A and B are shown apart, each in its own frame.
Chain A
Amino acid sequence: MTRDVNDPFAPFTAGRTNMDRRYIPQRWQDRGGREGMMRGESLPRAAAPLLGFGRLLRRYGFPVAPEQVSSFMQAVTLLGPRSMADIRQAALATLAPPPDRRDEFEAHFQSHFYGNTAAVVEGDSDEETRIKDDGGTSEEENEVIRQEEGGELSSGVEQLCTRDFQRDGDGLAAFRRKLAAALPTRRSFRTVRTHSRGKLDLRRSLREIVSADGDVPSPLLRRRQTVPRKLLLLIDVSGSMKLHTSDYLKLAHAAVQGGGRAEIFTFGTRLTRITGALRIRDRDQALARAAAQVDDWDGGTRMGPTLLAFLSVPRFSAFARGAAVVILSDALERGDHAELETAMRRLSGRAFRLSLATPLAGDPRFRPKTAALRVILPVLDDLVDGSSVKNLTGFILSLARPAPAAEAIWKRVS
């Protein structure tokens, strides 16, 4: 094989014969051998950029397993590689970047393999509502090492923390404990064994009979399981809700921590999923992380377009299906509210129960008279007071109990 000096793949192709032997897909029976390849000492130098790319991605929070890096290198070898495009395809197929972070992935690829650092993506178009998903950040990754200070000082800090905990007057700790049991339920398609009130479990009964050699013992029963419905909180973080957003986020944290399956999104001019951040147990840390993810604090509201954006992502709209959806917003939509109406109608079609909690309703003189509220009132199941955490927790814990439709209640009042 002649080496072409101008060939950018010379380092790859030169080592080919050597690499081929080492990297041919192993017969799957002896998969134990693969791990050994990851050890640095036996790798050809040309493979270093490929390894480095895996490390780079990991640094930027892409979940990349060692196993994936090794199949990335195998894939590159299998494909030739005849061009840079082959390496890119191999990276896409084996390192599996989540589709919503694809642009970011491309930028890292450009900067790593072409040295093109300018290719960082921040294409901001005003037309489309920007959607951000924090993906699966887990608590383990975010473990903060607590600084240990000198004896006296540290005990002082300790004291403060305890007091803070006990000052939890808004009842969030109690809310957290009660939530899982208080959510509305549905019947699952999985069944549980039961001793009474069930249908005949033919499979298990027959199995029992066969193992008893044809004797018929008492039949075994099964019943469909009841599982809590999902809780979806959509939190308005626009300027007009400034006073309440921090309370709402604390509530959201308690809801996520309370077990069950809560999903939390914030919206203003953009839509951000913060469920992952709120899974961190420590409240301050979780809120700080969530706050860092949201880009549109205290801005304007584009409630209709952001909710439509929410519905247009299949994965997100699946959260709303059969869920108890609570929107925490004042619903002060600027401009045209036709989009808001469409979005709310679609949401209510998917949701088990659609509620709007507005802080404005804390005022006894409040009536749903704004144009936006008037059009969405017919599709709402509840329109309640969201001015205090206490009211809100009380309301969320009562979601399982039936209540008259929002329109009926507010007609009576006005």
Chain B
Amino acid sequence: MPEANAETVATSPEAVASGLAASRYLADESLSTAIFLAIRLGKPLLLEGAPGVGKTEAAKAIAELLGRELVRLQCYEGIDAAHALYEWNYQRQLLAIRHAGDHEIDIYDDRFLIARPLLQVLNAPEERVLLVDEIDRSDHEFEALLLEFLSDFQISIPERGTIRATAQPIVILTSNRTRELAEALRRRCVYHWITYPDAAREAEIIMLRAGDVAEATARAVAAAVQSIRARPLAKPPGIAEVVEWANAATILEKGGSPWPEAFRRAIGVLIKDEEDLSYIAPELSRIVEEALA
């Protein structure tokens, strides 16, 4: 029974953490606890945090951990039921009506139904994990729709009747907190606020994710980024950018630039805002030297 499968994978927060590490995702204790609780309590997991702290990556790693396919629903303003639940393929229905001529034809057959992410997950809750990404971008109407879906896990299609999930699907929601989510939604979920990792963990992440970066380089990059994030930047660098920076600097170093110089020249992949660049430029060599020391 696949539900038992989820429970055998998630026997304890530590088991979850090591499982995630096998999918190249390093979760700290509180994140792995939250994931463990979400799976075992059968509740959706709501991850909030600044852009670039690895919310979507976490969802991908969870899907991999459970050996399920990830179905992603990217939210945006104006997203509605036709994009999230289901849609009829009207063009095919029309063609079928034409072709049928005098025959009886069921135009509400499965082949005319386009399943959108929420319906896809309902159809195979034990093989799929639903990721509702950046829910803060959608509007209140969609949040209400989602709330209904998350509480009952059923969809009513007027022509077909109600479709219910045969088991509790695993759902992950992410939000950048650009707006406050409805209290009801937070209440229904297991909640976790992801922060930037500390220097030691970030160094581990760089080692794991980057191609071939020496351990000393990874440590230096992590230390430098900690100090860069402490400054009032418009867009603090996310984890993906940090990994890129370590990669880029290593490549430049192999091409013949000495160390502090390689970091300085690769800064474009770390900081992608003109104002931030000019703000950080004068201090950069000092930051890098301190980190290398």
Q: Which residues of A contact B (CB under 8 A)?
A: 25, 28, 63, 65, 67-68, 71, 74-75, 78-79, 85-86, 89-90, 92-94, 96, 99, 102, 136, 188-191, 202-203, 206-207, 209-210, 213-214, 308, 311-312, 314-315, 318, 342, 346
B50–chain A nearest beta-carbon distance, Å: 7
Taken together as a complex, chains A and B put the C-alpha atoms of A191 and B40 apart, in Å, by 40
Tell me whether A93 and B34 are in contact in the complex, defined as CB-CB below 8 angstroms, given that A78-B41, A206-B91, A214-B94 are known contacts. yes
Within 8 Å of chain A (Cβ to Cβ): is B161?
Answer: no
Contacting residue for B77 out of A90, A189, A312, CB 8 A = A189
* Across-interface contacts of A68 in B (CB, < 8 A): 187
Within 8 Å of chain A (Cβ to Cβ): is B25?
Answer: no
- A94 close to B90 (CB less than 8 A): no
- A102 close to B193 (CB less than 8 A): yes
* Across-interface contacts of B76 in A (CB, < 8 A): 189
Within 8 Å of chain A (Cβ to Cβ): is B249?
Answer: no
- B40 close to A67 (CB less than 8 A): no
* Across-interface contacts of A342 in B (CB, < 8 A): 275
Within 8 Å of chain A (Cβ to Cβ): is B178?
Answer: yes
- B33 close to A314 (CB less than 8 A): no
Contacting residue for A318 out of B87, B94, B178, B190, CB 8 A = B178
Taken together as a complex, chains A and B put the C-alpha atoms of A125 and B97 apart, in Å, by 72
A61–chain B nearest beta-carbon distance, Å: 13
- A136 close to B30 (CB less than 8 A): no
Contacting residue for A96 out of B40, B93, B189, CB 8 A = B189
Contacting residue for B90 out of A85, A86, A210, CB 8 A = A210
By beta carbon, the residue of chain B nearest A65 is B187
- A188 close to B94 (CB less than 8 A): no
- B176 close to A314 (CB less than 8 A): yes
- A93 close to B192 (CB less than 8 A): yes
Contacting residue for B41 out of A75, A85, A209, A311, CB 8 A = A75
The 7 closest A-B pairs by CB, nearest first: A189-B78, A206-B90, A96-B191, A318-B178, A89-B33, A93-B34, A28-B168
* Across-interface contacts of B42 in A (CB, < 8 A): 25, 28
- B90 close to A99 (CB less than 8 A): no
Tell me whether A213 and B97 are in contact in the complex, defined as CB-CB below 8 angstroms, given that A68-B187, A206-B90, A314-B176 are known contacts. yes
* Across-interface contacts of A96 in B (CB, < 8 A): 46, 186-187, 189, 191
A338–chain B nearest beta-carbon distance, Å: 11
- A207 close to B88 (CB less than 8 A): yes
By beta carbon, the residue of chain A nearest B38 is A93
Tell me whether A210 and B107 are in contact in the complex, defined as CB-CB below 8 angstroms, given that A71-B41, A311-B234 are known contacts. yes
Taken together as a complex, chains A and B put the C-alpha atoms of A227 and B18 apart, in Å, by 49
B169–chain A nearest beta-carbon distance, Å: 10
- B139 close to A190 (CB less than 8 A): yes
Taken together as a complex, chains A and B put the C-alpha atoms of A213 and B189 apart, in Å, by 44
